[in-house]
Amino acid sequence: MRHPVFAANWKMNQAPADAKAFLKQFMASYPRQQDRQVLFFPPALSVSVVVDATKDRPDIAVGVQNIHWEDAGAFTGETSAPMSRAAGARFVLVGHSERRHVFGETEEQTSLKVAAAFRAGLVPMICVGETLAQRESGDTNAVIIRQLRAALATLAPNQVANCMVAYEPVWAIGTGKTATPDDAATAHRALRLELKGLTNDREEAVPILYGGSVNRGNAGVLLAAGDVDGLLVGGASLEADGWSGLVRT
């Protein structure tokens, strides 16, 4: 059985000094666990601090929240995959709902970013999710499958088998509303079936995380839902003791 993955997406929070204080507290209250993996996605400026603080902990890894699809060049304000890898990141979020809906990231861009991640040796965590209108019109599965296929379009099956996927319904992010465990299981099942073809039958190798208003109270039931292999957490990952408790779920 795969170990559950607990991923903290700090979004635009935790400056370097805040990240340092957080990790001091978290590492003191969370000794190494053999049966779960913890990922931190700090803002780019705090990546080095988190890498440093967790370097002796094989159960903890660090990722970036975004990359540009080019490896270097005149792209003011952007961060590349190779420089993220050089700073110690091993993962990258691609296609997060806020990138798609606040910054207008297209499906073509998600595919370019996934390819850039692989060139640099970063594992992409591909985020997919439907809006409330899409859910209400019965399009949930069609939307998330289309987003998944588009993001993975350039990859060979063995590369797809090395990705992670996160299902985050847009209407559940930061709203206090979560998918029911049944809704999450239905969406995750559809993603798993699609991954079967995309991985040449290695779909079980791909962790599929649920995200959207996860907290200590609902983490257990969501994690117990079918095909849910981990949790991608925003707000409830920002306070060290709360996160330490959630990760023990």
Other Cβ atoms less than 10 A from the Cβ of 201: the count is 11
Q: Of the candidates 5, 9, 152, 243, which one interacts with ligand 13P according to CB under 6 A? A: 9
CB of 156 to ligand 13P, least distance (A): 27
Q: Of the candidates 213, 227, 240, 243, which one interacts with ligand 13P according to CB under 6 A? A: 213
Catalytic residue among 168, 188, 194, 203: 168
Contact segment (CB under 6 A) with ligand 13P among 23-31, 56-64, 205-213, 221-229 equals 205-213
Contact segment (CB under 6 A) with ligand 13P among 78-86, 113-121, 184-192, 209-217 equals 209-217
Give the torsion sign (CA, 157, 70, 143, 175): positive
94, β-bridge pairs:
126
Number of residues that bind ligand 13P (CB under 6 A): 14
Catalytic residue among 96, 98, 105, 130: 96
Could you give the string, one character per residue 70-109, with x where binding to ligand 13P holds by CB under 6 A and - elsewhere? --------------------------x-------------
Q: At residue 119, what are phi and psi to the nearest 5 degrees? A: -60, -35
Query: Does residue 212 touch ligand 13P according to CB under 6 A?
Result: yes
| 168 counts as catalytic | yes
* Amino acid, res. 166: A
7, β-bridge pairs:
39, 232
Token pair of 65 as six digits: 């929240």
Burial per residue of 35-44, b for 16 or more beta-carbon CB atoms within 10 angstroms, e otherwise:
eebbbbbbbb
Query: Does residue 170 touch ligand 13P according to CB under 6 A?
Result: no
CB of 223 to ligand 13P, least distance (A): 14
Among 227, 230, 231, CA closest to 214: 231
| 188 counts as catalytic | no
Q: With respect to ligand 13P, which residue has the nearer C-beta, 69 or 167?
A: 167
Residues 186, 167: Cα–Cα separation, whole Å: 11
Residues 16, 80: Cα–Cα separation, whole Å: 20
Interface with ligand 13P (CB under 6 A): 9, 96, 168, 173-174, 211-214, 232-236
Give me the active site residues, please: 96, 168
